[in-house]
Chains A and B, each alone.
Chain A
Amino acid sequence: MARVYVSSVINSRSDRVWQRVRDFNGLPSWHPGIAESRIENGEPSDKIGCVRDFRLRNGDRIREKLLGLSDFDLFCTYSILESPMGVENYVATLRLTPITDGDRTFAEWTAEFDCPPEREAELVSNIGGGVFQGGFDALKRQFGG
């Protein structure tokens, strides 16, 4: 089982950051790697079990299922149903925690998945350094640091 852990500090209150990231269909509005997204079967994007079908800027298409969403604990958990990445049993969680000292947000993005051993380092680097850190860098820019 490969694991990815990326975390960052975003210079805004966690409820404001959460407003930005809670929409399971909203990746294109804040993540620079995502071109377009839709929720299948016309379901609301906060219905647990809904599926987002989205396209990366490089053309890759990914389908992910919403497994958990909490407006109280500020986390979102999802799995990959279909992707060209070659991962199995992929489950990821994006979680926000308030930093009470300064009205900032501690953001953590984790993933676990199975893959062939020879591809693990590359996948961990692409997912952690590319997708997750890329998202946090964008949020930091959008929230001014």
Chain B
Amino acid sequence: MIRLVRSTIIDAPTDEVWALLRDFNGHDQWHPAVGKSAIERGQSSDKVGCVRHFFLRNGAELREQLLTLSDLEQSFSYCLLDTPVPLFNYVAHVRLAPVTDGNRTFWDWRCSFSTRKGEEAEMARMVGEDIYDAGFAAIRNRLAASAGLEGRA
């Protein structure tokens, strides 16, 4: 079992970050690796148990299921159901917390999974860098851009 943790500080209040992250189907709007995404069976994206069916920009097709969602804790968990890459028993947790002495956001993104022998390092690198670190950067840039627009208005 591989455990992976990535965390960062975003220079915006948690409510602004959470507004972007809480939509389980919204990652195609902000994550650079994600192409088209849809929730199966016409369910609402905040219905626990719903499944998002999406494509990465490289063409890979994935399905992930929402396991928990909390507006109080500003957290959610999900697991992979189908993926073309060897990620098994993949469960991920996203948690936001306010940095009260600065009105910023602590964002923790972690997961556990297993994979084929010999592919541990590459899978950990792909998830950690291509998904998590890239996601942090995308949200940071997006919030900075919208703050810049407000500043000009």
Query: A residues engaging B (CB < 8 A)?
Result: 5-9, 97-102, 104, 106, 108, 133, 136-137
In the assembled complex, the Cα of A137 lies from the Cα of B104 at a distance in Å of 16
Query: In the bound complex, do residue B101 and residue A97 qualify as a contact, i.e. CB atoms below 8 Å apart?
Result: no
Digit string of B37-55 for contact with A (CB within 8 Å is 1, else 0)?
Answer: 0000000000000000000
Q: Which residues of B contact A (CB under 8 A)?
A: 5-9, 97-102, 104, 106, 108, 133, 136
Beyond A97-B108, A101-B8, A106-B106, 12 extra complex contacts between A and B, CB < 8 Å: A5-B98, A8-B99, A8-B100, A8-B101, A99-B7, A99-B106, A100-B6, A101-B6, A101-B9, A102-B9, A106-B99, A106-B108
Between A98, A99, A104, A136, the greatest number of chain B beta carbons within 10 A of the residue's beta carbon is seen for A99
CB of A111 to closest CB in B, whole Å: 13
Decide if B99 touches A7 in the complex (CB within 8 Å). yes
Q: CB-nearest residue of chain A relative to B8?
A: A101
- Which residues of chain B are near A137, meaning CB under 8 Å? 101
Complex Cα gap A99–B98 (Å): 14
- Main SS of the interface on chain B? strand
Q: Are A7 and B7 in contact (CB under 8 A)?
A: no
A122 to B102 CA separation, bound complex (whole angstroms): 22
Tell me the minimal C-beta distance from B73 to chain A in angstroms.
12
> How near does chain B come to A126, taking the closest CB pair, in angstroms?
15
A98 contact set on B, CB distance < 8 A: 5, 7
Partner of A9, one of B99, B108, B133: B99
Q: Of A5, A6, A9, which is within 8 A of B9 by CB?
A: A9
Between A5, A7, A100, A137, the greatest number of chain B beta carbons within 10 A of the residue's beta carbon is seen for A100
Partner of A5, one of B6, B100, B102: B100
Q: Are A7 and B9 CB-contacts (below 8 A) given A97-B108, A99-B106?
A: no
Chain B proximity of A135: nearest CB distance (Å):
11
Known: A9-B102, A9-B104, A106-B106. A100 touches B8 (CB 8 A): yes
Measured CB to CB, the closest approach of chain B to A8, in angstroms, equals 5
Q: Shortest CB–CB separation between residue B83 and chain A, in angstroms?
A: 24
Cβ–Cβ < 8 Å partners of A6 in chain B: 100-101
